[in-house]
């Protein structure tokens, strides 16, 4: 009942968002100077070839027709054909998206698993040594630009110490696993190739760490601040006056409430991952969506850019849905009243 | 000696002085406070906001922020034990089991994300080695004792689903749940409307009388405490200025501050007459006035009041710290 009340508006919103994005991307693609048909056919193509390509692309039809076709294709999951790779954009994305998800998910889990305890202990031992360390870490995480930090760790661990690889998802000698989940950590294990799995792990360490670090800073700072707020609350005093154990008060009574304001932030962090991934992937030559879209932009591959934009906006709406569901789980007032 | 004479007081605060060091100087929150609460006795602690009522009792339960205050003289005993030397573990066992506190402001005093039943059961099982099922029964019984309709339904509810009065009843139930020897009720009715207030007062009084629990009832409203208390302590600016049996204090108030408090009660004022409030404010506790702290607001002050008045016990168990009372009444004894 209440779940439906949360999910249904999100899906209606999803529809409008995708439609809006479609209008924008379509308009932009028609406003940019340059002729897509010529880009595909090449500079030296004859007028006849050009005409054929134009007809194939539907560019000879009225603009409104073209938009209808574009949207109809979108609905069927057809994002057009990449000018650069000559493959459907949808299948390009299907190839590159899992790499980004693998990087992003692991970074997020890392940031949450380290950030929450760090924030909690930072708040409990406010102004103590643990707090000082945690605050230093979070200031560094928040203020260090990803591209700079990425360069530094590559220089240190790859170039100087030579203990970790600095680019790609697997070492040269390993073939990519058959795509089942698209996550190399899982797919290599499914094939029983433990050495390839280890190589995938080693390749993940630096980029996930760099990507996690910024979010770790934000999460630690947020959890610390909301824990400090919650520990001032009357119900914490009630719990103390009832003789409850300190551990129970902190983890059962305080943290649960402190997490609620952090949910939005976690959602934002997930959004940030997409953007952070673009930088991180470029630095680490990680074959994901970030690398794909950067290359597409450099080569003016508009169908690819549009496809990426549509997928990214769907991602944002889904993240928002996830946040709403998380709120519902965490806050009974939203769950019971809606 | 009889058994009762051997039994230590529920709470005994002796000549307690306590201050909070701050950047602006030490806030002298308590200055030589003495409060005795006997077994099964209901005692009221009255005074304007900021007079040190909460600090007095929170010093006894060690709920003041650790490390941010210091006790400069005096002693505290809870059932004969000194809370200032207890370990964290001992304190946690004492709180909720030996002494419970009911706080003001039922808005936020219950955890908003945990069901009422679970919060009650959590406290009960912290102190009693019983099963969850048994604890639920105890919780349900005590909720009905607090005149809460359909306790099993309330136990499933979250705090935001209840009215302020209901939440306050739950808090009282929680305080009584492990049958403590002493309950500290710190303005438990201040946030509630008058009709609910009266009901809550009777609940606390009724349960305390039935179970022989001692109560310290804190309020800024002398009318509220006098409804249920055996004895009253009137507090002003960190000092006890008057104490005695409720009837005696109400009928023959000795201290000018007590009289002022009584004059401010709406029910004592003629209809249409202006409701009085005491002119002036509670003094700054960092740099209080010399002598009697009430002097800047007192209409009876004279030159003696620049020295600190000692507490004098009068016939009938009333005690007062005011120079004016020294000449008009025969002191029975004079404390140093
Ligand atoms: N943690 C603290 N730090 C500094 N001053 C405090 C602190 N807690 C209480 N005080 C001061 O102690 C005095 C007594 O406060 P309190 O006992 O809460 O008054 P009330 O009689 O209203 O309960 C007030 O002047 C208050 O400002
Ligand atoms: S001692 Fe003096 S100033 Fe203080 S209350 Fe008595 S008369 Fe007033
Ligand atoms: Mg108070």
- The pLDDT tens digits of the residues spanning B250-270 come to 999 999 999 999 988 766 545
The answer on A210 and A119 residing in a single domain is: yes
Chain B CB contacts of A234 below 8 Å: 103, 105, 107-109
B25-37, strands of its sheet edge to edge: B25-37, B11-22, B70-78
With beta carbons under 8 A apart, name residues in chain B contacting A334: none
Same domain (yes/no): A103, A52: no
Q: In this structure, is residue B237 part of a structural domain? A: yes
Residue A241 in domain = yes
CA atoms within 13 A on the CB side of B106: 27
Q: Are residues A275 and A142 in the same domain?
A: yes
Kindly report each contact of residues A16-21 with a partner whose C-beta sits within 8 Å and lies 24 or more positions away, as own/partner.
A17/A313, A17/A314, A17/A316, A17/A317, A18/A74, A18/A310, A18/A313, A18/A314, A19/A71, A21/A309, A21/A310, A21/A313
Report the atom number in ligand 2 closest to the C-alpha of B293. 4
Is B251 among the domain residues?
yes
Q: What are B68-118's pLDDT values in tens digits?
A: 999 999 999 999 999 999 999 999 999 999 999 998 766 789 999 999 999
Residue B212 confidence (pLDDT): 94
Q: Print the domain residue range for A24.
A: 1-84+299-338
Instruction: Give the H/E segment covering residue B185.
Output: strand B182-186
Q: Are residues A31 and A156 in the same domain?
A: no
pLDDT, average across residues A19-31: 81
B6 occurs within a structural domain: no
Contact B92 A245 (CB under 8 A): yes
Lowest mean pLDDT among A19-28, A117-126, B107-116: A19-28
Lowest mean pLDDT among A46-55, B43-52, B195-204, B264-273: B264-273
pLDDT reading at A155 higher than 80: yes
Residues A19 and A160 in one domain: no
Instruction: Indicate whether A235 and A266 sit together in one domain.
Output: yes
For residue B279, tell me if it sits in a domain.
yes
* Contact with chain B for residue A329, Cβ under 8 A: no
What is the distance between the alpha carbons of residues A272 and B292, in angstroms, rounded to a whole number?
Answer: 63
Pairing of strands B42-46, B25-37: unpaired
Q: Is B320 in the pocket of ligand 2 (CB under 6 A)?
A: no
Best of B236, B289, B292, B320 for a ligand 2 pocket test (most atoms within 8 Å of beta carbon): B292
Share of chain B above pLDDT 90, in %: 71
Atom of ligand 2 nearest to the CA of B257: 5
Check if B324 has its Cβ closer than 6 Å to any atom of ligand 2.
Answer: yes
> Given pLDDT bands bounded at 50, 70 and 90, which one contains residue B275?
low
Same domain for A64 and A114: no
Let me know if residue B217 belongs to a domain.
Answer: yes
Report the 10 Å Cβ neighbour count for A68: 12
- Answer yes or no: is B203 within a domain: yes
What is the total count of domains within chain A? 2
Which of the pair, B249 or A171, is modelled with greater confidence? B249
Contact call for B103 and A237, based on CB within 8 A = yes
On chain A, the residues whose CB falls within 8 A of the CB of B96 are 241-244
Q: Does residue A284 lie in a domain region?
A: yes
**Do residues A144 and A187 both lie within one domain?**
yes
C-alpha distance from B119 to closest chain A C-alpha (Å): 9
Pocket of ligand 1 (CB under 6 A): B 20, 22, 27, 29, 47, 49-55, 65, 68, 285
Instruction: Give the minimum alpha-carbon distance from B172 to chain A in angstroms, rounded to a whole number.
Output: 11
Total tally of structural domains belonging to chain B: 1
Please report the pLDDT score of residue B2 as a whole number: 47
Residue A79: per-residue pLDDT: 84
> Quick one: pLDDT at residue B307?
93
Instruction: Give A268-326 pLDDT, tens digit per residue.
Output: 877 777 778 888 998 998 999 988 988 888 887 888 888 888 888 888 888 888 888 88
Whether residue A309 is contained in a domain is answered as yes
Interface residue A229 vs chain B (CB under 8 A): no
The CATH number of the domain where B288 resides is what? Answer: 3.40.50.300
Q: What's the mean per-residue pLDDT of chain A? A: 86
Residue A294: inside a domain: no
Ligand nearest to the CA of B283: 1
- Average pLDDT of the segment spanning B308-328: 87
Same domain, A176 and A266: yes
- pLDDT surpasses 50 at B336: no
A162 shares a domain with A126: yes
Co-location of A80 and A125 in the same domain: no
**B163 to chain A, closest Cα gap in Å:** 14
pTM check: above 0.95: no
Chain A residues touching B110 at Cβ < 8 A: 235, 238
**Hey, how many other C-beta atoms are within 10 angstroms of the C-beta on A52?**
14
Name the more confident of B95 and A35.
B95
In a domain, B109, yes or no: yes
β-pairing verdict for B231-236 and B214-219: unpaired
Is residue B4 in some structural domain? no
Nearest-Cα distance to chain B for A245, in Å, is: 7
Domain hosting B172: range is: 11-334
At residue A226, φ and ψ (nearest 5 deg) are -75, -30
Same domain, A169 and A280: yes
Would you put residue A230 in left (φ > 0), alpha (ψ -120 to 50) or beta? Answer: alpha
Among the bound ligands, the one closest to the CA of B58: 1
With beta carbons less than 8 A apart as the criterion, state whether B39 and B9 touch.
yes
Chain B residues near residue A244 by CB distance under 8 angstroms: 92, 96, 122-123, 126
């Amino acid at each position: 009942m209440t779940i439906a009340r949360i999910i249904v508006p999100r899906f209606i919103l999803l529809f409008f968002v995708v439609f809006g994005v479609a209008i924008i991307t379509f308009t932009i693609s028609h406003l940019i100077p340059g002729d897509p048909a010529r880009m595909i056919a090449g500079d030296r193509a004859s007028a006849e070839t050009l005409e054929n390509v134009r007809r194939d692309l539907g560019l000879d039809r009225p603009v409104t027709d073209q938009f209808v076709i574009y949207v109809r294709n979108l609905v069927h999951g057809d994002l057009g054909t990449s000018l650069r790779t000559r493959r459907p954009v949808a299948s390009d994305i299907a190839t590159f998206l899992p790499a980004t998800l693998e990087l992003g998910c692991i970074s997020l889990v890392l940031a949450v698993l380290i950030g929450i305890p760090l924030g909690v202990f930072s708040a409990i031992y406010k102004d103590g040594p643990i707090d000082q360390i945690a605050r230093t870490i979070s200031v560094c995480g928040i203020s260090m630009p990803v591209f700079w930090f990425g360069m530094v760790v590559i220089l240190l661990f790859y170039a100087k110490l030579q203990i970790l690889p600095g680019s790609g998802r697997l070492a040269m000698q390993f073939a990519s696993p058959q795509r089942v989940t698209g996550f190399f950590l899982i797919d290599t294990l499914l094939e029983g190739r433990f050495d390839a799995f280890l190589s995938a792990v080693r390749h993940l360490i630096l980029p996930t760490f760099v990507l996690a670090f910024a979010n770790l800073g934000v999460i630690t700072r947020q959890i610390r601040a909301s824990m400090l707020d919650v520990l001032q609350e009357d119900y914490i005093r009630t719990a103390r006056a009832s003789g409850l154990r300190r551990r129970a008060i902190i983890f059962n009574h305080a943290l649960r409430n402190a997490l609620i304001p952090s949910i939005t932030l976690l959602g934002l962090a997930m959004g940030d991952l997409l953007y952070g991934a673009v930088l991180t992937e470029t630095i680490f030559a990680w074959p994901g969506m970030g690398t794909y879209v950067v290359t597409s932009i450099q080569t003016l591959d508009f169908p690819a850019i549009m496809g990426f934009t549509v997928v990214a906006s769907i991602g944002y709406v889904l993240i928002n849905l996830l946040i709403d569901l998380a709120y519902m789980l965490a806050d009974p007032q939203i769950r019971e009243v809606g | 000696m009889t058994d009762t004479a051997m039994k230590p007081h529920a709470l005994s605060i002796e000549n307690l002085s306590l201050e909070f060091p701050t950047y602006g100087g030490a806030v002298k929150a308590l200055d030589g406070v003495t409060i005795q609460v006997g077994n099964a006795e209901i005692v009221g602690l009255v005074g304007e906001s900021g007079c040190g009522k909460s600090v007095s009792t929170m010093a006894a339960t060690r709920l003041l922020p650790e490390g941010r205050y210091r006790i400069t003289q005096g002693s505290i005993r809870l059932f004969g034990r000194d809370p200032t030397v207890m370990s964290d573990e001992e304190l946690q066992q004492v709180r909720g089991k030996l002494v419970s506190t009911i706080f003001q402001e039922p808005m936020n005093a219950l955890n908003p994300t945990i069901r009422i039943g679970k919060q009650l059961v959590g406290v009960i099982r912290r102190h009693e080695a019983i099963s969850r099922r048994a604890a639920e029964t105890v919780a349900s019984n005590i909720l009905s004792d607090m005149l809460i309709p359909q306790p099993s339904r309330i136990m499933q509810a979250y705090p935001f689903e209840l009215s302020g009065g209901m939440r306050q009843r739950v808090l009282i139930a929680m305080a009584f749940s492990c049958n403590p020897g002493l309950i500290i009720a710190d303005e438990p009715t201040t946030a509630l409307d008058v009709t609910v207030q009266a009901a809550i007062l009777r609940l606390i009084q009724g349960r305390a009388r039935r179970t022989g629990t001692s109560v310290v009832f804190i309020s800024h409203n002398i009318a509220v405490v006098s409804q249920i208390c055996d004895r009253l302590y009137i507090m002003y600016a960190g000092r006890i200025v008057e104490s005695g049996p409720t009837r005696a204090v109400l009928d023959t108030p000795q201290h000018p501050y007590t009289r002022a408090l009584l004059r401010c009660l709406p029910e004592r004022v003629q209809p249409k007459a202006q409701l009085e409030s005491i002119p002036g404010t509670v003094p700054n506790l960092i740099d209080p006035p010399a002598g009697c702290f009430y002097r800047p607001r007192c209409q009876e002050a004279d030159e003696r009041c620049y020295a600190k008045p000692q507490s004098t016990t009068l016939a009938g168990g009333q005690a007062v710290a005011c120079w004016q009372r020294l000449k008009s009444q025969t002191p029975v004894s004079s404390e140093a």
